[in-house]
Chains A and B, each alone.
Chain A
Amino acid sequence: MTAETTVPADAEPHPQGIAIILFSGDLEKTWAAMILASTSASLGMTTKVFVTFWGLQTFVRPEKRITGTNWMQKMLAFMARPGIKYRKMSQMHFLGMGPWMMGKLAKKYGVSSPAELLEVAQMMGVEFVPCLMTMDMFGLTSNDLIDGLGEPVGAASYLADVASGLAPIFI
């Protein structure tokens, strides 16, 4: 029997939560966002991830290779493969060699992949919220996005979450 470690009674924990803006579609940044989101949920904190610009690409169904209605939207979709398993590194990508090595190292050192962390985060109640403006600009509909996302909203909704006490994190 060892001594119990606990917080003093007068320091009742008040976990509020975090509101992440996932702006980037880079592999490393996506990974960091997924680590923070799943950990935050594990700490019992309210956790929201507002996905916008390139970050939204991570949440487009991977089988959707061409999205959008005009040629520019279609071309942008064609140039950037969507889905969490196809994120590119911001540097040292080397035609996929970088991510391949990162994946190998992650496995070797017991680090869960972004896809695994996303699944866990969703299971634990993290809310992933698509940016409505980005959806409009890229010609995306809710059918193009993976299941389990929140209602698409704008910047005011994100800021309202921050105003109500969630700590803002921009990735």
Chain B
Amino acid sequence: MANATVDAKGLNCPMPIVKTAQAIKAIASGETVEVLATDPGSAKDFAAWSKTTGNVIVEQSVDGGVYRFVLRKK
């Protein structure tokens, strides 16, 4: 179970990333955030965000146009 959830469905670039960054800021190191997004750019953008910030993509899936990520804070 993630420590926080970001529902970014319906939001376009760059808001899914921005909202996720805000949620990550609010949790402690090692805790996780679950993100739901419909922006088709999400898969690539979250990979880039993970690479730059060092926060880890623990789980990633897509179901009916909804991308789901579980991210662990560095």
Surface stretch bound by B, among A20-28, A34-42, A69-77, A78-86: A34-42
Interface string of B7-43 (1 = CB under 8 A from A): 0001111110110111000000000000000010000
A117 to chain B, nearest CB (A): 8
* In the assembled complex, B47 has its CB within 8 A of some CB on chain A: yes
Q: Is the interface of A mostly helix, strand, loop or mixed?
A: loop
Set B11, B18, B22, B57: member contacting A110, Cβ < 8 A: B11
Set B22, B52, B53, B57: member contacting A5, Cβ < 8 A: B57
The complex places the Cα of A43 from the Cα of B10 at a distance, in Å, of: 21
Judging by beta carbons under 8 Å apart, are A42 and B18 in contact?
yes
Residues on the A chain within 8 Å of B50, using CB: 5-7
Judging by beta carbons under 8 Å apart, are B18 and A124 in contact?
yes
Judging by beta carbons under 8 Å apart, are A5 and B18 in contact?
no
The complex places the Cα of A42 from the Cα of B59 at a distance, in Å, of: 20
Residues on the B chain within 8 Å of A39, using CB: 14, 17-18
Set B13, B52, B59: member contacting A13, Cβ < 8 A: B52
Judging by beta carbons under 8 Å apart, are A2 and B61 in contact?
yes
Judging by beta carbons under 8 Å apart, are A5 and B56 in contact?
yes
A contact set with B: CB distance below 8 Å:
1-2, 4-7, 12-13, 15, 35, 38-39, 41-45, 109-112, 117, 120, 123-124
B contact set with A: CB distance below 8 Å:
10-15, 17-18, 20-22, 39, 47-54, 56-61
A38-B14, A109-B12 known; 12 other A-B pairs, CB under 8 Å? A2-B59, A5-B56, A6-B57, A7-B50, A13-B53, A38-B18, A39-B17, A41-B18, A43-B21, A45-B52, A112-B15, A117-B14
